[in-house]
Amino acid sequence: MIRKTIGDWFREESALLRKEYGLDDTSQMELTLENPKMWTHYCLIEEEDIDTGEGESCNWCGQEEEAQKLIDKKLPRSKVKS
Cβ 29 to Zn ion, closest distance in Å?
32
Residues near Zn ion (CB under 5 A): 43, 58, 60-61, 63
Q: Whole-number minimum distance, CB 54 to Zn ion, in Å?
A: 15
Q: Which is nearer to Zn ion, 30 or 39 (CB)?
A: 39
Sign of CA dihedral 10, 13, 15, 21: negative
**Nearest CA to 62 among 77, 70, 52, 47?**
52
Beta carbon of residue 43, minimum distance to Zn ion (angstroms, whole number): 3
